[in-house]
Structure 1
């Protein structure tokens, strides 16, 4: 495949026609096998090098692990856009992603010595679900890091001691 983007990981779509790479330059690239060239612009959104990619069993989504940004993300292969908000919750680098065989869940592993299983039955309004996902309100700094496309909101009820 191409040079200059230092891929960390590669995965093929279930039909074997579409590889995706996770790259040092913080991107995910989809490739045309015949031409050995990227298809369109890279997928961007991670704050650090992307270290792992995996296709959903139906091939319509690709998941990525952002290493030191502590997140995993889902991407729509057809539109090349993020699906929902990043998966946050690991306390250290997120190293790998894998889909459940039926596509209902995403597993992530981390340098914090944990594996998390994320349900892909995501809410229609993911911003409103941040309280449940994070288990607490996000600080403005966390919001800027994990939901940069949205203006900061306090969407969780205040916690009582």
Structure 2
């Protein structure tokens, strides 16, 4: 059991470095890293990570990358050293700002190249982390009026789910899959004559061919 005497409460946990460490996101604005090979009640973490200005509400990890999100509406990225797991992680310079409400959930794809962050503002942000030192906001999924409480991303990054109250919402992130769903729902594609009537200035390209 891990129990830091100064902790004000644990909000989220994630295994780090193939399970060698456990990261806990805590209400005292701190992320703590614990040695999972320890036995008994452990009161001293391997490391304490600070930087958030409010309660840390979410944590996710894959490989050497650790993502933390907080009630300061931001996401921070940390790089760990697999050869020295107890060494202090490096805080990457850029703070991710894609929310106007508390960050409540984080999810990384298996390759660590895409991060999903969900906030209480009803926005789920997709970040390209191909270069974690230069993260890029790829897209924002918005559901006005909803307050997200959780989120998940498929292993290949083509689908996402968000929850808000009694609702679980599915998002398709692959344009080709989205197009096939639209075509299946609308039935037969536009005929060449219908295309000319609607789009006379464009060459006919069957949208569901």
Deviation at 1:108, TM superposition (A): 0.1
Which one of 59, 65, 68 corresponds to residue 64 of structure 1? Answer: 68
Give the 5 Å matches for 1:84-123.
Answer: 84-122=93-131
Deviation at 1:3, TM superposition (A): 3.3
1:29 aligns with 2:35: no
Rounded to whole Å, the distance in 2 between the matches of 1:66 and 1:10 is: 13
Rounded to whole Å, the distance in 2 between the matches of 1:33 and 1:121 is: 29
Give the TM-score of the pair, scaled to structure 2. Answer: 0.54
Find the counterpart in structure 2 of residue 39 from structure 1: 46
Deviation at 1:91, TM superposition (A): 1.5
Deviation at 1:111, TM superposition (A): 0.5
Ranges in structure 1 where 5+ consecutive residues have no aligned partner: 134-161
Per-residue CA shift, 1:72-127, capped at 9, x if unaligned? 11111234121131110211111111111221111100001111101113486x5x
Find the counterpart in structure 1 of residue 170 from structure 2: none
User: Alpha carbons of 1:14 and 1:89: their partners in 2 closer, same or farther (altered >3 Å)?
Assistant: same
Rounded to whole Å, the distance in 1 between the matches of 2:73 and 2:32 is: 20
Per-residue CA shift, 1:8-53, capped at 9, x if unaligned? 111112622210000111011110123333103x111001010111
Root mean square deviation of aligned Cα? 2.1
Q: CA contact under 8 A between 2:25 and 2:58: conserved in structure 1? A: yes
Ranges in structure 2 where 5+ consecutive residues have no aligned partner: 82-87, 138-209
Find the counterpart in structure 2 of residue 16 from structure 1: 19
Give the TM-score of the pair, scaled to structure 1. Answer: 0.69
Structure with bigger RCO (C-alpha 8 Å, 6+ apart)? 1
